[in-house]
Structure 1
């Protein structure tokens, strides 16, 4: 009897919940998502069918008065709720709805203020064994590789043309997570600087993982590509310049299962497709 109680506790402790957020963007004075954001929103919905939305905040740009903007923000919230319900996503019974007029920190880029932010929980299965066989290198190995990648990134983009794919091998994530290892952040910062210095540059972030024999499982790679997208957008890169997609292990450099660590590393990569330059 005692053994059963212990086993039940272990099973219950495996499932935790993580608080996440997602932005849906709108055009000026419009209460339905713009075409680009609507597609990204639909992708997010299909990738997160078990999400539970806990808060929905609506925002506007600084044009018009506070009262009108608050009303428009409320309409945007209602439109997002409609889309969520049509797709049968779960709203928390105490979901918090908050439309803002002008009483929030406005971005200097007006298009980034026209949005609805969803806060949601995802059930996260903490795997006891690491199914992806991913390994994070030692600190000294990471620093050396990150320094080399950061220095070479500008040259890669400078020599690239529309349609080219740039491979970034050394953005490390924690095992089975979309959280970037802190020591990899210089590469993301360099990518942001390149985007900032080249205002006509449009890119698509393609995420790939190793080791997974289920080619249809793209969730982790999608979340990792989205994490890089979110990093750039939150640092003021216009969302219409950045797109993202996860391919899982469906496009490996080396056949899965890989034969060694170097093949795993080659398959576990981030690619940047140049859309416009």
Structure 2
């Protein structure tokens, strides 16, 4: 019986260990730098996976208790990224702190191991979705508003999450291909009525504006504006996360074409 149990545990360990991806952190930091965020996004892009466990680690510097907390916060940060871009919640988190066999190269110890199962599903390429914005622009009239779908930011900031690159690149291609097109970029937030104290909606509209300018679009073709929470699609307070996501959006309004 013991032999059967040992074989079962061994096979389980091998199966679990085969699906692992690791991201690395700077010293004393519990947030990933942009290059690691991009590497994470590139690896899981177009994969259908179920995330099963996140384990955080630290190098041996600082106290054991401090390292336990830092390692946990690193795993929590990765968990929050996954929750933002997928519908997966409450992924198991473990902190090993400095309590593991340390690598002599300390930067390899500052990490989170991401365990996952790759799901086998029939792939259907969303060809129509990829063309949706350009199709809308091609038929839009002056005054029409178009939502920039799948454009997301880190919490209360104007920093794009990696998955936003595709819609930004598509918008840039549209602007380059239509030299007479002029747009106003409009920011909206969710969840709260009244004044947008941190002006998050404006910060996000400005981020899109700056992205286009930095990639060669003349600023005379662009403007930006914040509507805060004054023009929600769904009544505030929203009923669920889907409604909140639709309210916290960036739109473009056609000014000339």
- TM-score under structure 2 length normalisation: 0.50
1:239, distance to aligned residue in structure 2 (A): 0.3
Aligned to 1:258: 238
Q: How does 1:65-214 map to 2 (within 5 A)?
A: 136-138=84-86, 149-214=129-194
CA distance in structure 2 between the partners assigned to 1:181 and 1:240 by the alignment: 27
Deviations 1:147-175 (A, max 9, x none): 86543111111110111111123101011
Contact kept? 1:216, 1:250, Cα under 8 Å: no
The count of corresponding residues between Structure 1 and Structure 2 is: 140
Structure 1 vs Structure 2 CA RMSD: 2.4
CA distance in structure 2 between the partners assigned to 1:229 and 1:146 by the alignment: 27
Gaps of 5+ in 1: 1-134
CA distance in structure 1 between the partners assigned to 2:209 and 2:198 by the alignment: 16
Gaps of 5+ in 2: 1-82, 89-123
1:228, distance to aligned residue in structure 2 (A): 0.2
1:251, distance to aligned residue in structure 2 (A): 0.9
Contact kept? 2:150, 2:163, Cα under 8 Å: no
Q: Which entry has the higher C-alpha Rg, 1 or 2?
A: 2
Q: 1:225 to 1:146 in 2, by over 3 A?
A: farther
Contact kept? 1:163, 1:274, Cα under 8 Å: yes
Q: 1:256 to 1:146 in 2, by over 3 A?
A: farther
Aligned to 1:228: 208
For the residue of structure 2 that corresponds to 1:190, the secondary structure is: helix
Aligned to 1:66: none
1:235, distance to aligned residue in structure 2 (A): 0.4
Q: 1:214 to 1:208 in 2, by over 3 A?
A: same
